[in-house]
Amino acid sequence: MGNNVAKQIILELLNIIDVKVNGNNPWDITIHNENFYSRVFYQGALGLGESYMDEWWDCKRIDMFIDRIERAQLDIKLQLPLSLKLKYFFYQFINLQTKRRSREVAEKHYDLGNLLFKVMLDKNMLYSCGYWKDAKNLEEAQLAKLDLICQKLHLRPGERLLDIGCGWGGLSAYAATHYGVSVVGVTISKRQQEYASELCKSLPVQILLCDYRDIQDSYDKIVSVGMFEHVGHLNYLAYMKKIESLLKAKGLFLLHTIGNNYTLYFVNEWTSKYIFPNGNLPSITQIANTLEKRFIMEDWQNLGSHYDPTLMSWYENFVQHWPELKSSYDEQFYRMWTYYLLSSAGSFRARTMQVWQIVLSKEGVEGGYVSSR
């Protein structure tokens, strides 16, 4: 198919969502390379993201542009090439999150450099959705999220908490400081482990560099924030079995994860290639199937709409601090990171992705579970 036909199809799709080429609205796009149309037609999300990185197009508000694409489900209207359909089909049967492959996301993303995340995130270095119910800024939203999690876990002084995917140690430090618990934090990122260990050195917190499959011992409470997205659908059952084996009989487990509205076995090609290698977002069905005969679901809250302001705050911080970052990263990285943050914000604004906090018990909370909001 020639570029002219591809252009006609893409322009028709853009017309559906009221996006004009070289228009005046903030969500309109400016095309710098006419090959943009065939690249997007044949490569879908990968072509759209890579062509932005290569400066083939621009948009004043990528978040608004992606919001319109997602709400109209243009990815469904634009039929994928057979090669991509076959690839996505086989993802159902390929385990992209083995122990060896699980290291890839740490090396490619979380080990990009602590300075990048330090200037972009809040002071506690929390790289997950904030809780904006009463918050006026990112700091307040992330502190509210930390306290919400601790309250939902019904943490009590002297308890032992396992923090799977502890990141830079913000939640572990907060729980130990404000709720009097001892914490074992686990990460597969060496840079995160080094930072978190230093942060928590005066607290009853131990930060381990290991895979979740290698965790031992037993815990009163377990929490996992923003890590389940890297587990992979073929490992969901093994993950829940591991949690079951680590959690004491009367304990609680809180799972905080991004989720899909329906079952998929892949993230889009651009995100997988440039941001989160081998990532996979769960659906409600996939999670529920792993809980049967294993856990009682005590509470399930959707925080999906809270990720939009979180991502926009990260983007503002990133742009503000770019002058001190650009000696370590090139202009293509700037465009890649801009596209990542703003396209993600647009997707959550369109509600095509969710954020769930799920509280689970093994035996059921006596008298009934009381949740915080």
Model confidence over 13-49: pLDDT tens digits? 999 999 999 999 999 999 999 999 999 998 889 999 9
Bridge partners, residue 359, by sequence: 254, 299
Instruction: Examine the pLDDT at 97 and tell me if it is beyond 70.
Output: no
User: How do residues 180-239 score in pLDDT, each as one tens digit?
Assistant: 999 999 999 999 999 999 999 999 999 999 999 999 999 999 999 999 999 999 999 999
The reply to whether 256 falls in a domain is: yes
Residue 229, token pair as written in the block: 């997205």
Mean pLDDT value of segment 127-139: 97
Residues 342-351 have pLDDT tens digits of 999 999 999 9
Residue 373 domain-assigned?
Answer: no
Domain with 70, as residue range(s), is 3-90
pLDDT in tens, 321-359: 999 999 999 999 999 999 999 999 999 999 999 999 999
Q: CA–CA separation, 279 vs 138, rounded Å? A: 25
| 192 and 48 inside one domain | no
Mean pLDDT of 292-304: 97
pLDDT band of 88, cuts 50, 70, 90: low
pLDDT the model gives residue 203: 98
Verify that 41 and 190 share a domain, yes or no.
no
Domain boundary among 90, 114, 144: 90
370 within some domain = no
Distance, CA of 36 to chain centre:
28
Q: Is 116 inside any structural domain? A: yes
Quick one: 277 and 312 in the same domain? yes
- Contact between 139 and 122 under an 8 Å Cβ cutoff? The reply is yes
- The answer to whether 58 and 30 are in contact (CB under 8 A) is yes
Is 369 inside a domain boundary? no
Q: Is residue 274 scored above 70 in pLDDT?
A: yes
* pLDDT above 70: percentage of residues in the chain: 90
Q: What is the largest CA-CA distance in the chain?
A: 68
198 domain residue, yes or no: yes
Residues 6+ apart with CB under 8 A from 177: 203
pLDDT band at 278 (very low <50, low <70, confident <90, very high): confident
Q: For the chain, how big is the Rg over CA atoms in Å?
A: 21
Residue 184 belongs to some domain of the structure? yes
- Do 189 and 281 fall into the same domain? yes
Nearest to 227 by CA among 300, 178, 276, 288: 276
Position of tokens 């005046």? 24
Q: How far is CA 225 from CA 53, 60, 201, in A?
A: 30, 32, 21
Whether this model's pTM surpasses 0.85: yes
Residue 264's pLDDT is what?
84
The reply to whether 68 and 138 lie within a common domain is: no
Do 132 and 373 meet the contact criterion of CB atoms below 8 Å apart?
no
Order the strands of the 247-260 sheet from edge to edge: 205-209, 182-187, 160-164, 219-225, 247-260, 353-361, 296-302
The total of structural domains in the chain comes to 2
Model confidence at 91, pLDDT cuts 50, 70, 90, reads: low
- Chosen domain end from 90, 107, 136: 90
Closest among 46, 41, 93, 117 to 314, alpha carbons compared: 117
Mark whether 147 and 261 lie in a shared domain: yes
33 DSSP assignment: -
- The 3-state DSSP class for residue 276 equals coil
Residues 63 and 118 both lie in one domain: no
Is 319 inside any structural domain?
Answer: yes
Q: How big is the chain, counted in residues?
A: 373
CATH code (residue 168): 3.40.50.150
